[in-house]
Amino acid sequence: MKITGLVSAGAAKVPGVTGTGCFEEDLQKTQKKFHAEKFTAKKDEAFLIPSAAGSAVLLLGLGKKEKFTLEAARRAAARTVCEAKRLRLDRARLELEGFGGKFPAEGLVSAAVEGARLSDYRFGKYKSKPSPVRRVSTFEIVAGSGNPAKIKDAIRKSEIICEGVALARDLANEPANVMTPAALARAAKKMAAGHGLKCRVLGRTQMQRLGMGGILGVSQGSANPPQFVILEHRLTAASRPIVLVGKGITFDTGGISIKPSNDMDKMKFDMCGAAAVIGAMRAIAALKLPFPVVGLTPICENMPGGAAQRPGDIVRCMNGKTVEVLNTDAEGRLILADALAYAGRYKPRAVVDIATLTGACAATFADLATGVMGTDEDLVRRIERAGEYTGERCWELPLWEEYADLIRATYADIQNISKKYAGTITAGMFLKEFADHTKSWAHLDIAGTAWNESGPKPLSPIGATGVGVRLFVELVKSYAES
């Protein structure tokens, strides 16, 4: 699908589906213009008006102006492309005139590109026969107003961001027998070489030298050796970068504290944090964002076996703190502990980790929000704002000091699980112990948002969502601007 932009519409009737947005406030005008009395302009309503063969108008309800967000524009674009596919029409276009008022034309154009691209994503490489669904060959965005050069630039930038999301989805949708730790590290290396990023991969011996007892312990039961990927963008000796840390468990069986077999296949998605960091680094490099950024991804498998870590084992992490591993299924925090400690080497301006960390977070928010916890108000607010803007909603949970009591260990400094309750927060409290070198740290729990298993959604088919990529790009932009 090719995406192009225009400032003003040409001929009124063009082949394909033409989407037109309408607020409730402008309903009468639209009803009259299209003789569509039944259309009500309610949020997410789509009202199809077939005209000549091969062409149709799609009225898209945007709800009340006051409540309008760019997410509605993304969904409108997605719906338009989807309708063109359903009608087996080759072309789709979205007229942004009716979306006007609240956001600048470039913002709406970017949202339209995202909606079209993210909804059009497919992971079909293992299907022997291609899917019978017709593809759309062109998606045209009619901006209505705005500067043509700026609109073209907005399209180009959004395409780059969506390529980052698609990369994250591709990496995460691969099965764990293909996307092994070494394969994921190779993919990161290949991406870095293609986009001018510096990349190093540490193996087991180097991790031993660094004292990374957390990731070494988790990976010891697996035939596939652990990997630690380091990606650097615009780093200089003096610069204080943002460090992004992504959990990369390529498969989580739970280890000796083994998981039930139901839905265990979903644990191939336990590297979605790492995938988000790799996808975001690609976008950040390709956009040439003027701020230093480091991406760190500890990668390994969590397997049972004769060499596996046992409940009760005590490991020493890179910052010297000892951990009692009471449950081998709470492995994400163990590998992140070493990566967060490693982040301290950069004297970072801010550290943000992202992980499919706790089932409790999915139980709390379902797939409607990413949990966020942190030590710096300003950073957490920036993340929330980025989430609001991109539609990757984030919601804060507290890290009150009293919660520290719940992970105090009998024999070591801390233990990797708490007794009961507050599973998401106590995981955050655990990570905080390893990020104490930096004033500004936040943790994102994407257990509920990393993949979609409930059925196709406007911006994501079933499978990995690529959550975090657009959020990180927006977050880095916020630092580049101030």
> What is d(CA 442, CA 380) in angstroms, rounded to the nearest whole number?
7
Which of positions 323-382 make contact with Mn ion (CB under 5 A)? Answer: 329, 331
315 counts as binding ligand BES under rule CB under 6 A: no
Q: Which listed residue (333, 382, 432, 470) is catalytic?
A: 333
Q: Binds 216, which of Mn ion, Zn ion, ligand BES, none (CB < 5 to 8 A, cut-off by type)?
A: none
252 counts as binding Mn ion under rule CB under 5 A: yes
Residues whose CB is less than 8 angstroms from the CB of residue 464 and which lie 6 or more positions away in sequence, other chains included: 123, 168, 169, 171, 172, 173, 269, 272, 275, 450, 451, 452
User: What are the φ and ψ backbone dihedral angles of 323, each rounded to 5 degrees?
Assistant: -130, 130
327 counts as binding ligand BES under rule CB under 6 A: yes
Q: Which spans in 287-390 are helix H?
A: 332-343, 359-365, 377-390
Residues whose CB is less than 8 angstroms from the CB of residue 404 and which lie 6 or more positions away in sequence, other chains included: 429
Query: How wide is the angle at C-alpha 345 spanned by C-alphas 339 and 346, nearest 5°?
Result: 100
Binding site for Zn ion (CB under 5 A): 249, 252, 270, 332
| Burial of 14 (C-beta count, 10 Å sphere; 0-12/13-18/19+) | middle
For CA atoms 433, 436, 439, 444, the dihedral sign is negative
> Which C-beta is closer to ligand BES: that of 109 or that of 447?
447
417 counts as binding ligand BES under rule CB under 6 A: yes
SS3 263: coil
Q: In whole angstroms, how close is the CB of 121 to ligand BES at the nearest point?
A: 21
> Which C-beta is closer to Zn ion: that of 7 or that of 264?
264
Q: In whole angstroms, how close is the CB of 95 to ligand BES at the nearest point?
A: 40
- Give the CA radius of gyration of the chain: 23
Task: Map 156-185 to HEC letters.
Answer: HHHHHHHHHHHHHHHHHHCCCCCCCHHHHH
* Closest residue to ligand BES using C-beta atoms: 359
Residue range at the interface with ligand BES (CB under 6 A); choices 206-214, 230-238, 330-338, 435-443: 330-338
358 counts as binding ligand BES under rule CB under 6 A: yes
331 counts as binding ligand BES under rule CB under 6 A: yes
Q: Binds 360, which of Mn ion, ligand BES, Zn ion, none (CB < 5 to 8 A, cut-off by type)?
A: ligand BES
Quick one: tokens of 215? 């990731």
- Catalytic site includes residue 74: no
Q: In whole angstroms, how close is the CB of 332 to Mn ion at the nearest point?
A: 6
Residues in the chain: 482
> Which C-beta is closer to ligand BES: that of 286 or that of 431?
431
252 counts as binding ligand BES under rule CB under 6 A: yes
Q: Binds 279, which of Zn ion, ligand BES, Mn ion, none (CB < 5 to 8 A, cut-off by type)?
A: none
Residues whose CB is less than 8 angstroms from the CB of residue 35 and which lie 6 or more positions away in sequence, other chains included: none
- Residue count, binding to ligand BES (CB under 6 A): 16
Residue range at the interface with ligand BES (CB under 6 A); choices 35-43, 135-143, 329-337, 403-411: 329-337
> Which C-beta is closer to ligand BES: that of 108 or that of 256?
256
The contact pattern for ligand BES, residues 111-140, with x = CB under 6 A and - = no contact, is ------------------------------
User: Among candidates 298, 167, 316, which has minimal Cα distance to 225?
Assistant: 298
Q: In whole angstroms, how close is the CB of 327 to ligand BES at the nearest point?
A: 4
Distances (CA, A) of 453 to 62, 154, 263, 365, 457: 27, 31, 11, 15, 10
For 366-396, the DSSP string reads TTS-EEEEES-HHHHHHHHHHHHHHT--EEE
Which of positions 418-457 make contact with ligand BES (CB under 6 A)? Answer: 423, 447
356 counts as binding ligand BES under rule CB under 6 A: yes
Residue range at the interface with ligand BES (CB under 6 A); choices 90-98, 324-332, 396-404, 464-472: 324-332
For 230-241, the DSSP string reads EEEES--TT---
Q: Which of the 8 DSSP states describes residue 450?
A: S
- Catalytic site includes residue 259: yes
332 counts as binding ligand BES under rule CB under 6 A: yes
Q: In whole angstroms, how close is the CB of 317 to ligand BES at the nearest point?
A: 17
For CA atoms 396, 397, 402, 408, the dihedral sign is negative
- Bridge partners for 92 per DSSP: 17, 139
Q: In whole angstroms, how close is the CB of 352 to ligand BES at the nearest point?
A: 18
Q: Binds 358, which of ligand BES, Zn ion, Mn ion, none (CB < 5 to 8 A, cut-off by type)?
A: ligand BES
The contact pattern for ligand BES, residues 266-305, with x = CB under 6 A and - = no contact, is ----x-----------------------------------
User: Among candidates 403, 383, 378, which has minimal Cα distance to 394?
Assistant: 383
Catalytic positions are 259, 333
Residues that bind ligand BES (CB under 6 A): 252, 270, 327, 329-332, 356-360, 362, 417, 423, 447
Which parts of this chain interact with Mn ion (CB under 5 A)? Answer: 252, 329, 331
